[in-house]
Copies of this chain bind each other. A is one copy, B any other.
Amino acid sequence: MTDADKVFSDIEAIRAKAPVILSITNYVVTNTTANALLALGASPIMSHAVEEMAELVAISGGVVINLGTVAPEYLAAMDPAWTAADEAGVPVVLDPVGAGASMLRTVTPLALLGAHRPFIIRGNASEIMTLAGDSGSAARGVDSTAKTDSADNAARVLSAKYSCAVVVSGEKDLVVEGAAKVRVLGGSPLMPRVTGLGCTATAICAAFAAVNKNPLEAALHACVTMKVAGEMAELKASGPGTLQLHLYDALYNMKAQDVADHIKVVR
């Protein structure tokens, strides 16, 4: 099977199984990541109510823990959710939004990682470098000033330390697991001008994790899907506003040929 075939096979599995994806995520992207998951074929549920975490994890095929909103009422649900996921064997995708921009955004993902094993960590270069303790991380708010390539070593460090796949999103996505390293090119230069497309990539990682137990493949397939959807959307978009809507349409309409036409994987 080609990479494109493998990606599309997972997409078909998501569409067939409609896995529930539980997201504890930030209030900027609840709507948009839910729409992306629905468009792809998954069944999203968003919550930060501690009381229901174990029950929701039990029906989920994947869990997103996204640190975009670090207010206490959101944080309180994360450890219980992850504990439930550990016990149920449900894969967790961690998004350390804004790591490096504040102490709270740096220590919170590290504290969670001290207690739990992620399936995938996905962030931008600054966030990944911050988690790896790289002093050149250059976080600036939630946007990265560092290039993906500069996070190469940091991604390896994190992957080794936490035994997970690591995705560094950027103009080129970098996917690392152990000794394996893959780059995914493509997408659209409009994508960084839409809020939460990084968070959307995280959510899509969780959907692939629900159907593919290999963290490197799940992460890679999610990155390819986002880049392919971004390229398809750009053909119809006149700016970041229209891009976002056409990206959902692309996730919904994506065919095997679309993946084959747009995939750009470099090993």
Contacts and interface: CB of A to CB of B under 8 A. Distances in A.
Interface of A: 18, 20, 22, 26-32, 34-35, 38-39, 43-49, 51-52, 55-56, 59-60, 68-73, 98, 101-105, 140-143, 190, 192-196, 236-242, 244-253
B193 A38 contact: yes
B70 A47 contact: yes
Q: How many copies does the complex hold?
A: 3
B70 A52 contact: yes
Nearest to A28: B30
A52 to B, nearest CB: 4
Contact of A195 (B31, B55, B70, B251): B31
Given A49-B71, A101-B59, A239 B244 contact: no
Contacts of A190: 252
A150 B143 CA distance: 42
A31 B35 CA distance: 13
B244 A245 contact: yes
Given A45-B101, A56-B101, A241-B247, 19 more contacts: A22-B141, A31-B31, A31-B32, A31-B195, A35-B195, A35-B240, A38-B240, A43-B141, A44-B141, A46-B68, A49-B71, A52-B102, A72-B73, A193-B252, A238-B249, A239-B250, A240-B248, A241-B248, A241-B249
7 nearest CB pairs, A to B: A239-B249, A241-B248, A52-B102, A241-B245, A34-B195, A20-B141, A55-B102
